[in-house]
Structure 1
């Protein structure tokens, strides 16, 4: 389920290992920008991302919330997907993020300008968003247009609009401010909880200890696994489509699945288990 993600993530990590300006394109980026028709996941929750880089629209009576946007060039696609669902991008009032990498926060500057939305980012990732990636502990270079953060949040803080509330869970390690989100939703008349997992990927070159830019990465990553295990995960959602078998589940929905395929607590547990196993493998190699 997760293996096909490793090639583009390795390519992303490789950018940190060369002393050249960030390129306009990254190997695999075209796949990340391949369009996918938007669709409804739950009563007020919609998918508006590409085939691999997720973006979610949460609709409320007082305006909408957008979680993630993909790489920089995905911005217009996301807005087109919002329109295709019959919603007005100008109704997007809040932009939130899983983590401050170019393949998720890339179009935030454009999306903020196009919608007039307020940007709400975790304390650990806010400086990276505002520097366009230059202050990232690993990449150290501008990789997307900087965007102004309007509100900084910490673990347990909430984002509310129109009677809908998301809760932020700082699940650091992949980035210093990697943020997973919980959201109560209604699916087929039943109360469920969506868990949007940031990422449990340890990129090649990450060090669990000893990195002056992030000396406590390993401890944060272990804490994040425990945090995610403690969350109720009915709808399993995440920052990459491959993490959640997005295309397979979308196909099942189109085929008329009797139950919503995104209700997948077993898949959620398997993803967390996979992240923990990755941590243990790196620990066994001395953390590097």
Structure 2
């Protein structure tokens, strides 16, 4: 990360009371955020490499993007020096996440809770590295905990035959649909959205600045990807569960949509347009994935 982007990050973080040095808080926070987002869009392309470093930027208020160019990791500040981190990326990507935390002058030990979206190595393969840095294990869904604890893929997973193993990590707690977790005065709601994986989670929370509050949703991938010999049509109950996840996602209060693959929700396009609360929302995202699931089932029916 360039010296200029580090200064921007520190200043912007300090402006929300997130733990960086107050002396760095100079200039209009909106201008700082614009510059940080511009640097990200100049560094990162659509569907970029999973481990490619990208600079951190503020999504809105106390919500930050600290992932790589191709895989998201989300940081939420409680306003009193505590943080929640969602996802790690791959093992190599987790080092990018830690570097971005360092650029924001955040001590990993100030992260009070680590959450996950779904149990695939590209999004959580670096959880052991994050645990070593933060001193915390991960909070998972009840359906996913065994994957994290053993590092072995779930045989029920539609992509089981091609999934890579990952380093095991301690599971400190499990959640179910509707569980509320958090640190300090920060609260995030777990929404079980199985489909892409059996243990997938979507997370919802409010981020507030001095003028307004927005509901942020970090929606799981929910893409109907499979590896042979898996066929969705051979698992009608799983398809019903998948469709239910999509229907519930579409109904969520959702001012800002974020996704584990940022390009799946057109994040770069929305950054370029200047407002992450505009463009693709949860309902549109769910509609796209539902259509893809229908296409997948039609393809299988024709085979």
Of 121, 132, 144, which residue of structure 1 is paired with 2:166?
Answer: 144
If asked which structure has higher relative contact order (CA below 8 Å, sep 6+), I would say: 1
Matched, 1:283 2:260: no
CA separation in 2, counterparts of 1:47 and 1:188?
Answer: 20
With normalisation by structure 2, the TM-score equals 0.77
The answer to whether 1:54 aligns with 2:76 is no
- Rg comparison, structure with higher value: 2
Q: Deviations over 1:72-130 (max 9, x none)?
A: 11111101101112221110111100001001001001101111124110011111111
Between 1:58-67 and 1:47-56, the stretch displaced more is 58-67
Find the aligned partners of 2:91 and 2:296 in 1 and give their Cα distance: 31
Aligned residue for 2:255? 234
Equivalent in the alignment of 1:167: 189
Alpha carbons of 1:104 and 1:136: their partners in 2 closer, same or farther (altered >3 Å)? farther
For structure 1, which segment, 156-165 or 278-287, has the greater mean C-alpha deviation from structure 2 after superposition? 278-287
1:84 to 103, 115, 118: 103
Q: Do the aligned partners of residues 248 and 285 (structure 1) sit closer, same or farther apart at CA in structure 2, a change above 3 Å counting?
A: closer
Contact 1:62 1:162 in 2 (8 A): no
Task: Give the TM-score normalised by the residue count of structure 1.
Answer: 0.80
How far apart, in 2, do the equivalents of 1:180 and 1:240 lie?
Answer: 13
Which structure features the higher share of helix residues?
A: 2
Secondary structure of 2:138's aligned partner: strand
Asked if 1 retains the 8 angstrom alpha-carbon contact of 2:64 and 2:74, the reply is: yes
What is the aligned partner in structure 2 of residue 24 from structure 1? none
1:14 alignment counterpart: none
* Partner secondary structure for residue 203 of structure 1: coil
Deviations 1:127-186 (A, max 9, x none): 111121333424266521111111011110011211110000000011111100111112
SS in 1 for 2:76: strand
Could you tell me which residue of structure 2 aligns to residue 204 of structure 1?
Answer: 226
SS in 2 for 1:232: coil
Deviation string 1:193-227 (CA, Å, 9 cap, x unpaired) is: 0011101211133432435xxx7320111110111
Q: Tell me the residue number matched to 1:107.
A: 126
Long gaps (5+) in structure 1? 1-28
How many residues matched?
Answer: 250
Report SS of the residue matched to 1:40: strand
Q: Could you tell me which of 40, 56, 71 is aligned with 2:58?
A: 40
